[in-house]
Amino acid sequence: MQFKFSKWHGCGNDFVLVNGFTEDWQTIRSAAIAICDRNFGIGADGVIFILPSDKCDFCMRIFNSDGSEAEMCGNGIRCFARYVYETGLTNKEEFTVETKAGTIKPRLVIDEKNENSVCVNMGQPVLEGEKIPVHGFDGFAVIAQPLKIQDHQFKMTCVSMGNPHCVIFVNDMSSINISKWGPILEKYKIFPNKTNVEFVQVIDRSHMRMRVWERGAAITLACGTGACASLTAAVLNDLTDRKAAIKLDGGLLSIEWNKDDNNIYMTGPTKKVFEGIYYSG
């Protein structure tokens, strides 16, 4: 098997992008683990396929570094948007993308200062416990709910951005052992589809610091949907205003929960790193 690819990242959250219009994506997807291996493969947090859609301009499918499929990816959709525009698959600066989390609408930011930025309408956050899903919370939102694991007491706020998130606010980010608690929380029994886990330190009403344990990818440098979920959780807990800058390990994202349409808007950078041909077998 061999195929052409392009390597991109958004705030250090990196992806192998494959044009499914010209490549056999069904065969390639089965090799996602090998492709993402940072020693023996290309190295990435996931593999993204650009595909045709019968209801949107494009379809995006994304497979994590452990081979599982994700519903959506905030940093990935920005890379996707830049890819289709810069490769000439579209001349639109705003278009629709079909994902397993629904229709997403990215818009390229075309100006000298933000030539690599993309603003994405991420849709409305889902707050009902059974829809996120979180067992034991049918019919109401999961806001600052106590969660005791081993000898540690957490307070969790859960949000779905098409994929599940468990947001935990901390006073001091350096005091949290993400490598320990991330995998435990990801697979905890109340999350039937597992969950992404965000640890968030609020700096002030318009600034936050976030680190993430991603479902299916472990610790990553950034998570776009996680940043959106974190801003939502902060507003629900009256910790920030409806727009904030979120500092991630790999960079900065601007997130806004628009009051008029209830949608979350994410703006952040993208960067093409290299392209080539992958060989296996």
pTM of the model: 0.92
Q: What is the DSSP string of 120-166?
A: EE--PPB-BGGGTT-TT-TTSB--SEEEEETTEEEEEEEEESSSEEE
In this structure, the answer to whether residues 86 and 159 fall within a common structural domain is: no
**What is the CATH number for 16?**
3.10.310.10
In this structure, the answer to whether residues 231 and 253 fall within a common structural domain is: yes
**CA 270/CA 79 separation, integer angstroms:** 6
- Is 213 a residue whose pLDDT tops 90? yes
In this structure, the answer to whether residues 258 and 273 fall within a common structural domain is: no
In this structure, the answer to whether residues 40 and 105 fall within a common structural domain is: yes
In this structure, the answer to whether residues 252 and 143 fall within a common structural domain is: yes
In this structure, the answer to whether residues 84 and 106 fall within a common structural domain is: yes
What is the residue range of 35's domain? Answer: 2-121+269-279
How far separated are the first and last CA of the chain, in Å rounded? 7
- Rounded mean pLDDT, 115-140: 94
* Tokens 């490598």, residue located: 179
pLDDT band at 22 (very low <50, low <70, confident <90, very high): very high
pLDDT band at 193 (very low <50, low <70, confident <90, very high): very high
In this structure, the answer to whether residues 219 and 240 fall within a common structural domain is: yes
- Is 51 a residue whose pLDDT tops 90? yes
Q: Which residues contact 234 (CB under 8 A, 6 or more apart)?
A: 167, 169, 200, 202, 208, 240, 244
In this structure, the answer to whether residues 134 and 223 fall within a common structural domain is: yes
In this structure, the answer to whether residues 135 and 257 fall within a common structural domain is: yes
4: left (phi > 0), else alpha (psi -120 to 50), else beta?
Answer: beta
As for how many domains the chain has, the answer is 2
In this structure, the answer to whether residues 21 and 138 fall within a common structural domain is: no
- Is 212 a residue whose pLDDT tops 90? yes
pLDDT band at 9 (very low <50, low <70, confident <90, very high): very high
For 67-119, the pLDDT digits (tens) are 999 999 999 999 999 999 999 999 999 999 999 999 999 999 876 565 689 99
Which residues are annotated as catalytic? 73, 223
In this structure, the answer to whether residues 8 and 93 fall within a common structural domain is: yes
For 226-247, the pLDDT digits (tens) are 999 999 999 999 999 999 999 9
In this structure, the answer to whether residues 116 and 139 fall within a common structural domain is: no
